[in-house]
Every structure is written in structure tokens, then in C-alpha cells.
Chains A and B, each alone.
Chain A
Amino acid sequence: MHVTLNGELTDIAEGSTVAGLLEHLQLHRERVAVEVNLDIVPKVAYDGHGLADGDRIEIVHFVGGG
């Protein structure tokens, strides 16, 4: 299925969860925040939050800034 991940159209496995996607991307869940269709997904919900075709996903983290 296709989702928009950080602005890029991306193909991910059917039935993926937020937790599964982070694992696939090798990202630490403690260090990121995830938004799906403009709603923040709390960290405790990563395992249970299924992704759907067409979802718009943002994964952000902290970078250097002033």
C-alpha cells in the first residue's frame, strides 16, 4: 500500500503498524514523534496503531537549532 511518508510517496507492507514502520526504518521510538493524518500518535499506541493506504505520516526528531 502507498502512504505519504515525510512528504514522499512510499510503498509499505500491507498491515503495517507505526511500531513496525519505525523498526523497518531503524528509528528509536524514544527519539521520534509520529503524526498520522495530522494527529499525533502517542508512543504507547505505536504497537496497536495500524496504517492504512493513503495515510499521511510525519516522523520527526530533534536536530541542531537555535
Chain B
Amino acid sequence: MTTQKDTWTIAGREFTSRLMVGTGKYASFQQTAEALEASGAEIITVAVRRVNLDRSKESLLDYIDTKKYTLLPNTAGCYTADDAVRTCRLAREAGMSDFVKLEVLGDEKTLFPDNEELLKAARILVKEGFTVLPYTSDDVIMCRKLEDIGCAAVMPLGAPIGSGLGIRNPYNLRIILESVRIPVIVDAGVGSASDAAIAMELGCDGVLMNTAIAGAQDPIAMARAMRLGVEAGRLSYKAGRIPRKLYANASSPLDGMIA
């Protein structure tokens, strides 16, 4: 089983790695590139910002092979549907791809999504032909609505963005997994490789993270740890865990004891 192909698809595009990583907060572009390599990720998120007209023209894309990675531009920092839609249109023009990570934030302190604005933006973007991957609350009703609108995946949070608190509500994720047919990607909240494994063991299709890798003391080592955590969690999910029991069940045979 371990050698069987275990790919997944988003909007008809096939991927092998189930770890998606962000490119923010690294010490240098060189470190970003090394962490991406170590993570094994195929999909990487980027932000859309004004070019800096005064400073060095060195750019993230000088360090990233855009043939190797699928760029997923985000709408980070957008608080209204209008701003998010505008950002997505610019991203499509800059990257010549329809893939977007849609986030519409409601509050600076929590960075929780503004669901009302999120749905509004998603409707417009799907109509305009975008492949929309929305960052959303871990709320099954929201996820169903996003699926009905035509989003390509749902990306519920495990915990607040950058918090590293891990998967705070695995039961909500399980309900979401049972309720939608599109891929479910945990986006935000992961702090360690075990968190990533927990998300995958629940049956999620993928995990997206940034701070957990970029903010680690050794981002390259953590990128590899996350890769292994996601793979371990996925295998564990597919292998089918034993049921939890209250009492012991001996592993060694009782027959043939010397006394």
C-alpha cells in the first residue's frame, strides 16, 4: 500500500504533496527557497503587493522556479470583498493563473474570516472563472455554502493564523470532512509536525502553513519535519487506526508461559 500512488486533485490538477506552504516571514529569499525544497511542497502561497520603486529590484521569483511550483496568490490583508476581488484580478494578471487563496478578514486581532464578505467575494470570483480556495472558519455550514458556490476546495482554520495552537476543534473538521465533496485543507494554526499529522489523520486532504516553518529556529529542518508529519498522518489515516479501548490488551501471547 505504501508504494501505491496517492495523489489528489484541485480543480482537475493533480498533486502529490499534501503540504502547501507560504513564502512569508523568512530571513532571506535563499532561506525561503531552501525551506520550500525541504518541504516537498508543490503549491506555494504568495502575496500581492505594490512593487517597491525605491529599493532593490530583487524579487522572490528570482529564487523560485515557477515551473516547479504552483503559485497560489492570496488576498491576505483584505477586509472587504471588493478589495479581495480586486487583488485576485491583479494576481491573475501578474501570474497568468486562475488559482487564488481567498481570505477576507474580519478583525486584526484574531484574523478570523468575515464570512459574509467571504461568500460575496467567492461568488464573484467563481463567476469570473477563478479557481477559488477560501480560508474559512471551521464551520460546516460555511463550508457547504462555499462548495455550493463552486469553490475548488475549502480551507478551514485549525487555530488563528500564526498562533501555532494546533488543531483546536478536530470534531468540527470531521463534520466538515463528512459534509463536503471538495478537498478540505487545514489552513492556519499548525505549530508542529504532530499538529500536521493530526490534521491528516482526521482525513484532511492537505495542510497549508507558513509561520510554523518560517518562524521555527531552524526553518529548513522544520520544513522537512512538516513534510514527514503530513506523510505520516496521511499514511496513518489510510492504514486505519485501532479502536480506542479503556483497558489493556496484551501484545504477547498468553500460551506457552513458563509457569
Contacts from A to B (Cβ < 8 Å): 5-8, 25-27, 31-35, 38, 40, 42-43, 58-66
Bound-complex Cα distance A32 to B52 (A): 12
Contact B51 A32 (CB under 8 A): yes
**B221 lies within 8 A of chain A by Cβ:** no
Most buried by B among A6, A43, A63, A65: A65
Query: What are the interface flags for B3-40 relative to A under an 8 Å C-beta threshold, 1 for contact and 0 otherwise?
Result: 00000000000000000001111100100100000000
Find chain B residues with CB under 8 A from A25 CB. Answer: 51, 53
Contact B46 A64 (CB under 8 A): yes
> Interface size on B (CB < 8 Å)?
36
Find chain A residues with CB under 8 A from B53 CB. Answer: 5-6, 8, 25
Bound-complex Cα distance A32 to B90 (A): 9
User: Which 6 pairs between the two chains have the least Cβ-Cβ distance?
Assistant: A65-B47, A66-B22, A66-B210, A33-B93, A33-B94, A62-B46
**Of A6, A32, A60, A62, which is within 8 A of B71 by CB?**
A62
Most buried by B among A43, A62, A66: A66
Contact A60 B161 (CB under 8 A): no
**B50 lies within 8 A of chain A by Cβ:** yes
